[in-house]
Amino acid sequence: MGASIRRFAASSLLLMFAGGAALAQPITLVSNTLNMFRDTRGANDVGIGQGDRFQFGADIVGGSAGVSLGATYGPTGFTVSQFACNPLAVNANFCSRTTAFDANKIDPWTIRFTRGADTASARSASPASRPRPTSTRPMRRRSSPD
């Protein structure tokens, strides 16, 4: 019985240190996923807040659990505080956040990701560089001919 307890303790320590090593990995963004764009949301039935927003974020290599995200608008020093990422069931790497849209803050932002003492920063493209949709009509599903 003593040997079983020792094996269990050794296994537990190994898992604990392996998990700690995973959290200590540097934050690396998935290539070409850094984003910042204007998001105008209307009433919806999926629980996403309404309003005129800037959405920003990226996918994190190895998953975004334990990572927080914030941003700074350089010209004025306006800061969106760090807040925990919320990985999706369909994309564990997903990390995003929003702040109120402001037409006076359309130059590139610095987006910050943190996990413990580790920090990664990246400069976004200008949110104004993305084209606005020309139509706000809902899309309808078409029946396909059999």
pLDDT tens, position by position, 109-121: 999 999 999 999 9
**Residue 99's pLDDT is what?**
94
| pLDDT(31) > 80 | yes
Q: pLDDT band at residue 129, thresholds of 50, 70 and 90?
A: low
Q: pLDDT band at residue 103, thresholds of 50, 70 and 90?
A: very high
In sequence order, which residues have a C-beta less than 8 Å from that of residue 111 and are 6 or more positions away?
34, 36, 56, 57, 58, 69, 70, 71, 121, 122, 123, 124
Q: pLDDT band at residue 145, thresholds of 50, 70 and 90?
A: low
**Quick one: CATH architecture of 30-129?**
Sandwich (2.60)
pTM above 0.75, yes or no: no
| pLDDT tens figures, 46-81 | 877 789 999 999 999 999 999 999 999 999 999 999
Q: pLDDT band at residue 85, thresholds of 50, 70 and 90?
A: very high
Is residue 81 packed enough to be buried (19+ CB in 10 Å), middle (13-18) or exposed (0-12)?
Answer: exposed
Mean pLDDT, the chain, integer = 80
Does residue 116 contact residue 23 with C-beta atoms inside 8 Å? yes
Q: For the ranges 55-64, 101-110, 119-128, which has the lowest average pLDDT?
A: 119-128
**Residue 11's pLDDT is what?**
44
Domain spans, the chain: 30-129
